[in-house]
Structure 1
């Protein structure tokens, strides 16, 4: 992510990374303050409603980052299979240095908070839906029917999310590489 950030975005970047890697409950406000390098007053100035609002904004921050990356790759590569594979490969490259992972989808946060925070659950659904639609739009441009493309967008996003969870757990990008290698078989037939 961008290294020239204002204090609000620096807090969001730090919180996003920590929520994605540690989860909501394991990430405390003091850790976010410490790792962002900003004074304690900054976090409460920008997020006076506390941790839940910060987590929702962190989901939006991560979602926008992923959207920009996905759209850029989808625009640069005309073939949808190659474009999706390029996005997965780019995502998997973060696991070459797990300590610097950022901008990975919000699956851990979603699974941990979906039953306890309706606002967080809705923010995660919104993020997932945006990513799925970007993938579906690319497939539609290639001649897929709308309904099938939307299903494929959801399936591919789910596979990427699962690959990320396994890659985090294993501290290895191999699960994402398997997902990437499977994309041609998943998309070989039009619905």
Structure 2
């Protein structure tokens, strides 16, 4: 990757982290520039439409990061309920040190900006759908009807997002672990 690509990625990663910790409105471009150690002009070069464009790229970056984590969990464990539980448990481990949590800003940005930025709202929706589809694909491969799998994928993703919010608020992984326990019941399996 060339210097410009590295700088752009560093800006996106820094923005994603700051949006997660502080929220969209509390994070300014000057802080992103300072913490990413990027030249001032590079932020405006890479994101000429400003903070909203940068936030969209941060959501996409986070979306890809989490999608890979979900896919990895789905590939590691054959049984879909156990695979989903595995992903939730791995995600919950981040709450042992909440300052290092990664992959969280999508839900936070969605709740903070859905009514004020249509492009950012749509990007969040697309990321949520991608994650839900990974769960649905696993379920379909194990005999679930496509329509039911899609509904379950969305339900599971929504539960995980809610569990992340609870875990953040409580600074504790227990809400996510409680959700993991419910997965076999949701998939109509004995847990």
1:37 Cα shift? 2.5
Give the Cα–Cα distance (whole angstroms) in 2 for the partners of residues 105 and 71 of structure 1. Answer: 19
Q: Is the 2:98–2:171 contact (alpha carbons within 8 Å) kept by the matching residues of 1?
A: yes
Asked if residue 135 in structure 1 is aligned to residue 132 in structure 2, the reply is no
Q: Map Cα deviations across residues 19-77 of structure 1 (whole Å, 9 max, x no partner).
A: 12322111111221222222322222211210000001111100011111111211121
Deviates more, 1:69-78 or 1:108-117: 69-78
Across the aligned residues of Structure 1 and Structure 2, the Cα RMSD in angstroms comes to 1.3
1:103 is aligned to 103
1:91 is aligned to 91
Q: Map Cα deviations across residues 81-119 of structure 1 (whole Å, 9 max, x no partner).
A: 111011111111111111111122511100111111100
Give the Cα–Cα distance (whole angstroms) in 2 for the partners of residues 32 and 88 of structure 1. Answer: 30
Give the Cα–Cα distance (whole angstroms) in 2 for the partners of residues 181 and 68 of structure 1. Answer: 23
Q: Is the 1:11–1:32 contact (alpha carbons within 8 Å) kept by the matching residues of 2?
A: yes
Deviates more, 1:11-20 or 1:108-117: 11-20
Deviates more, 1:14-23 or 1:137-146: 14-23
Q: Is the 1:11–1:33 contact (alpha carbons within 8 Å) kept by the matching residues of 2?
A: yes
Structure 1 residue runs of 5 or longer lacking an equivalent are: none
Structure 2 residue runs of 5 or longer lacking an equivalent are: none
Give the Cα–Cα distance (whole angstroms) in 2 for the partners of residues 78 and 108 of structure 1. Answer: 31
1:67 is aligned to 67
Structure-to-structure mapping, 1:158-177, within 5 angstroms: 158-177=158-177
1:28 is aligned to 28
Give the Cα–Cα distance (whole angstroms) in 1 for the partners of residues 169 and 35 of structure 2. Answer: 22
1:42 is aligned to 42
Deviates more, 1:132-141 or 1:9-18: 9-18
Q: Is the 2:55–2:120 contact (alpha carbons within 8 Å) kept by the matching residues of 1?
A: yes
